[in-house]
A and B are shown apart, each in its own frame.
Chain A
Amino acid sequence: MADFGVTTRPRPKRVDELIDGELMAKLDQVDVMSRKIFAGKLQGERRSKKRGVSVEFADYRHYAHGDDLRFVDWNVYARLDKLFLKMFLEEEDLSLLIAVDTSASMDWGNPGKFVFAQQLAMALGYIGLCNQNRVTLYAFGGEGVKPLPNLRGRRRTQEMGAWLLDLAPGGESGFNDAMRLIALGRQGKGVMIILSDFMFKEGYDKGLRYLAGGGYDTFCLQILSPEEIDPAKHGLAGDLKLTDIEDEDSAEITVSAALLKRYKENLNAYCGKLRDYCVRRGIMHITIDTATDLATLLLDYLRKRGLLR
């Protein structure tokens, strides 16, 4: 009871502690799936709405001065005596954006929420890098928004891992400001994954509205520790002064059946409300228990929910 909820497991120091080789091998077969096709900056491995150079025919258009004569359809010219230009669907890369909550509230729970977020971000980023997606990571928390932009290719894995290992939880999340900055700083469109516990006293509405408004295919992965999901089962009892590790706020409680029942109801209501809010704005919301096995989560759970394929 004395260490209720306090993370006991040390934070990873090496990249292979974030993601092991076995999991990496499994993740090689997985790709991030977007429900939409996005315009990318570089040619990648996925179709784009943008017509360009590829083998897949898209349409014709009249020749204009200065067009590349290589794409003129000479057969049509022979029949119609008019110059038409063949247009092809261009294959583009996917922009994958992962935002990790590094506020103090994430440094809690057994297994800890922050480490879990680090590992999950690493795994998702690795999937993105493996599939030649453009991976950008953001950390938002007490130190503001900290980006790691535009990684591409498997060779950037170590760099991404080192960046994640450098992160330290602390301070308040500043979720709304962070989302605004991320939304404003972003160019183009992509898949955005937010890893957080979404326990924001200032609310999450405004921040999520920025993301929804930005046309991102957004996934909110709400990470909760077992102690948060069922505190009684993990030994919360007695007359307590609960201290918020994020803002030092306190609440005096005497743990009782009625209170625990009320807490569970409030937790369910909170998560349900967040889910509703997300669904209304085309955002996918997934609640994840940190006790969940990471491989199972990635290869089974997130696949079923349409984030991975």
Chain B
Amino acid sequence: MNWLTVPTGLILAAAVIPLLILLYFLKLRRRTQPIASTLLWKRSVEDLRANAPFQRLRKNILLLLQLIALVLLALAVMQPQLQAGRRTGGKTVIVIDNSASMTATDGADGGTRLEEAKRRAANRIEALYGRGLFSQTAGETMVIAFSDRAEVCSPFTDSRPQLLAAIQRIEPTHGRSRIAEALTLARAYTTNVDPDSDRPVGDPATLELFSDGQIQDLDDQVLKGETLLYYPVGTPESDNVALTAISIERPYDRPTAVEVFVALANFNPEPVTLDVQLSVNGTAQAIEELTLGAAEPDEATGLLIPSRQNIIFTPFEQPRGAVIEVANLRRDDLAADNAARLVVPPPRRLRVGLVASTNFLVRTVLEGVGAIESLELLTARQFERLAADGAVDQYDVVVLDGYAPPEGSMPPARYLTIGAIPPLEGLNEYGRGEAQLVLDLKDEHPLFRFVNLEQLFIQRFNLIQPADDVVVLAEGSGGPVIVSVARGPMQAICVTFDPLDSNWPFQRGFVTFLVNAIEYLGHAGEAISATSFAPAEALTARLPAGATDLELRIPDGSAEGRIIRPVPLDPTMFSWGPIRVSGVYELSWSAGGDGRETRVFAVNSLSEAEGKIRPVERILAREENVLVAGAGGNQYMPLWPWAVGLCLAVMMLEWWVYHRKAYI
């Protein structure tokens, strides 16, 4: 127990208690009242005294009660408190993690980690500002919540109700933990620069972080001179198996079928067996049993490396669009990563124009792609005529196989160029090179799904000097191998070598790459994988003309969800965000007629980093300016109100005793 203002209390006690005793030593000044005879009165007083039990105690009970009341008052003035938290006289920034891992239900009292963090942060606010009338002021405090992005819940204030309300308003998200923006925000608010000396004024604020410590970008975020007080929440025995990836595609030979790939990771130190359910539009389609090995500790870092495993569900016919959901049926502490869903658009048959194809390879492959409705072979002259007429966009994809059209004859369309370098601004062809291997590959790009370029050897290739806005998708030892160019509605994927000048035709990846490229370009960014959003992103969709009365149904944990009515700034573009939680979002609009049109968005929280929910006891232990607050160290219990309350109760008792006149 701490006593904050002992001297004040002692001074009060020393001044008042002797005064009270002195008053009791002084006789009560009684009014003189003449009476016929004191005979009966004396006898009555004596009777009353003789009949009073504990006479000696009762004789002084009023004094005793008054002394107790005064002592309690003096104790209250001393401001006793139990387990007081750290005090700070300067500014404080309360930083609360509301990322997906904070929705784990292993917080204190069975709640989520975020609830525990909010409660502890509120206690901290109480500790800073709930000290009573005689306390020193605790400076100003700011509240920031962060996941993928940071949000200032309350600017610097010393208003306790405002801070508590701001903390209570923080809602969970399914985003990732990224603290950099939060710290930048805090610094922006705390750093006051003296305009004369151009130097910061005042001490830096104390950062108080309420998190499970699973923060992906914490390294080097805490600057010298800053102090970060870390309040860990959650229990080390947390249990989580996460869905870390989902992918759905239509096999190129069966455009009406759907194939689902899922990756899972087990973060527990023991192996788990679980059921993974695949459902289409809410109806269970298949259940796979899966056993995941135990997570192994990394010898170098001591951190647990999760055990990963993939599932490929048997392809099934789904000629129509659908919401496909894969769920891990095993219950664990974090529900946010137990399900992932994707929106599968209906299969689209593509029209492809193949221009000036001089080799059979590309043509043969394209003829076998099931997603291609029609493949038209065009000569260079036919293409140029179409380009001149502005009729190239009748094709979903135009493949320029070893042909570079003349300058200015590439109208907006989607191109796949192979071999020859098209006359596009930013490619800057400057010669030919020989013999190279692929060194770097953006393998997360849809073009390279199931494509391995490690064995690719290129004998001859075109050398280009791509501009900054040209995305190099594959970089070889001699120069860019595959690049992507986007110029407004025109998009092109350029392969800088002729496949016949390489060993690519002998590899399976060649066919897959062509199919991916046709799918990617043909669906113009509407590839299946692109229909999934992540928390913290914005939902965007192009609206048809005349779409009004928009309704967005967002998941809120209930079956129906919550409906909001966004008002788009641009009548042709819908944009809403940032997305806070994962789930299925359903946008509907009135198309002018009686009915409403609907579009569904899937939002997935598939971060492996967020799946690691085991709280970190110490973050950045090497840093001297990062302190770990004790698990319950900030529980603050001011006792002075109790002392004052007891004092009032004793005074009431004294009043009652006085009016009972038990003692005369």
Contact = CB atoms under 8 A, between A and B. Distances in A.
Nearest to B37: A199
A258 B48 contact: yes
B30 A5 contact: no
Interface string A50-72: 00000000000000000000000
Interface in A238-275: 238-246, 249-259, 262-263, 265-267, 270
B172 to A, nearest CB: 65
A236 B28 CA distance: 18
A253 B41 contact: yes
A228 B37 CA distance: 9
A228 B32 CA distance: 17
B300 interface: no
B42 interface: yes
A113 B662 CA distance: 33
A266 B664 CA distance: 17
A4 interface: yes
Contact of A105 (B28, B36, B43, B661): B36
Contacts of B36: 5, 105-106, 108-109, 113, 197, 199, 225, 228, 244-246
A270 B47 CA distance: 14
A199 B35 CA distance: 12
B45 interface: yes
A35 to B, nearest CB: 31
A9 interface: no
Interface string B538-571: 0000000000000000000000000000000000
Contacts of A113: 36
A280 interface: no
A201 interface: yes
Contact of A243 (B32, B45, B47): B32
B28 A239 contact: yes
A6 interface: yes
A242 B76 CA distance: 42
A262 B48 contact: yes
B35 A256 contact: no
A243 B35 CA distance: 6
A53 to B, nearest CB: 51
B30 A245 contact: no
Interface in B272-326: none
A249 B47 contact: no
B56 interface: no
Contact of A240 (B30, B47, B660): B30
B32 A241 contact: yes
Given A5-B34, A243-B32, A254 B42 contact: no
A256 B663 CA distance: 9
Given A254-B661, A259-B664, A245 B35 contact: yes
Question: Which of A238, A242, A249 counts the most chain B CB atoms within 10 A?
Answer: A242
Given A201-B39, A250-B38, A253-B664, A241 B31 contact: yes
Question: Which of A6, A108, A254, A258 counts the most chain B CB atoms within 10 A?
Answer: A258
Contact of B39 (A109, A199, A250): A199
B281 to A, nearest CB: 84
Contacts of A253: 41, 45, 664
A244 B28 contact: no
B37 A240 contact: no
A259 B48 contact: yes
B40 interface: yes
Contact of B37 (A244, A255, A258): A244
Given A251-B45, A266-B43, A244 B30 contact: no
Contacts of A240: 30-33
B34 A6 contact: yes
B44 interface: yes
A113 B37 CA distance: 13
Contacts of A105: 36-37
A114 to B, nearest CB: 10
B38 A267 contact: no
Nearest to A224: B36
A242 B35 contact: yes
Interface in B38-90: 38-45, 47-48
A246 to B, nearest CB: 7
Contacts of B661: 254-259
B111 to A, nearest CB: 57
Contact of A242 (B41, B43, B48, B664): B41
A249 B45 contact: no
A108 B33 CA distance: 12
Interface string B629-664: 000000000000000000000000000000011101
Nearest to B661: A256
Interface in A97-136: 105-106, 108-109, 113
Contacts of B28: 239, 252
Contacts of B39: 199, 201, 244, 270
Nearest to B664: A254
A265 B31 CA distance: 25
A245 B44 contact: no
B657 to A, nearest CB: 11
A246 B39 CA distance: 11
A108 B662 CA distance: 30
Contacts of B43: 266
A267 B115 CA distance: 73
B297 to A, nearest CB: 80
A262 B43 CA distance: 9
A234 to B, nearest CB: 12
A246 B38 CA distance: 9
Interface string A173-203: 0000000000000000000000001010100
Question: Which of B31, B36, B660 counts the most chain A CB atoms within 10 A?
Answer: B36
A236 B661 CA distance: 15
Given A106-B36, A246-B37, 12 more contacts: A5-B36, A105-B37, A236-B33, A238-B31, A239-B30, A240-B33, A241-B31, A243-B38, A245-B34, A252-B30, A254-B661, A266-B47
22 contacts: A6-B34, A109-B36, A197-B36, A199-B36, A199-B37, A236-B33, A239-B30, A241-B31, A241-B32, A244-B36, A245-B34, A251-B38, A251-B45, A252-B30, A253-B45, A257-B661, A258-B661, A259-B44, A259-B661, A259-B664, A266-B44, A270-B39
Interface of B: 28, 30-45, 47-48, 660-662, 664
Nearest first, the 7 A-B pairs at minimum CB distance are A256-B661, A199-B37, A108-B36, A241-B30, A262-B44, A251-B38, A244-B38
